[in-house]
Amino acid sequence: MTDLNLWKRNLGAVPDEVWDDEELETLVLADNGLTAISAKLGRLTKLRMLDLGHNELAAVPDAIGNLERLDFLYLHDNELTAVPDTLRNLHRLRYLNVGENRLTRLPLVTSLIELRATDNQIAALPEEIGALVQLRELHLRNNALTTLPEEIRRLLSLRQIDLRGNPLATLPTSLLDLPRLEKVDVRWVQIDDDVLDRLEARGCLVYR
């Protein structure tokens, strides 16, 4: 068996035998009231998709960095205040969802195509965000952002950015340097910026 779906089984804790199945490629543990994940997770080195969403996790073990074949990782709707730095080891990760947590920093994995970090407490994006050169979608709804770093100009693959519900005062002109940008969502943001007008003028869809 390479796929194991234990969604909404009221487990409370992950059975030990799950960590012994080293052939697993898909593991769904969503919506089980989990408060902890064993470091034995790191044994599942063939995992391509891991879903830990809709639980009560306050932390994720550093051993998650061993899952170097991982393509999709769901950590949304938990109690996370941080994610392990070892996520940087996941060089094949394409999709990461850390929405609906308590994060104050945006996790960076350079291979990402889609990053969802909605409903957190992120007040600033790191300059290193410019390293996510493959990123196509960046979802940051309902955070605490007041501006964006100029380094965002390096996200040349970016197609969509969702900034709804952030206390943004200005937008950097570097958004105009993104040739593939086709959708910007700034609804519920008190901002009237010339950058938005210029994006619309070139055909970008702006929601405001």
Q: Is 94 within 8 Å of 74 (Cβ atoms)?
A: no
What SS3 string covers 82-93? CCCHHHHHCCCC
Q: Extract the tokens encoding 160.
A: 């969509």
Neighbouring CB atoms inside 10 A of 3's CB total 11
Residue 49 above 90 pLDDT? yes
In whole angstroms, what is the distance from residue 162 CA to residue 181 CA? Answer: 12
For residue range 131-157, what is the model confidence (pLDDT) as tens digits?
999 999 999 999 999 999 999 999 999
186, exposed or middle or buried, with CB in 10 Å at 0-12, 13-18, 19+?
Answer: buried
The pTM of the full predicted model, rounded to 2 decimals, is 0.97
Q: What is the pLDDT of residues 54-113, one digit of tens each?
A: 999 999 999 999 999 999 999 999 999 999 999 999 999 999 999 999 999 999 999 999
C-alpha–C-alpha distance, residues 110 and 199, integer Å? 26
Phi, psi of 201 (to 5 degrees): -65, -25
Question: What domains, with CATH codes, occur in the chain?
Answer: 3-122 (3.80.10.10)
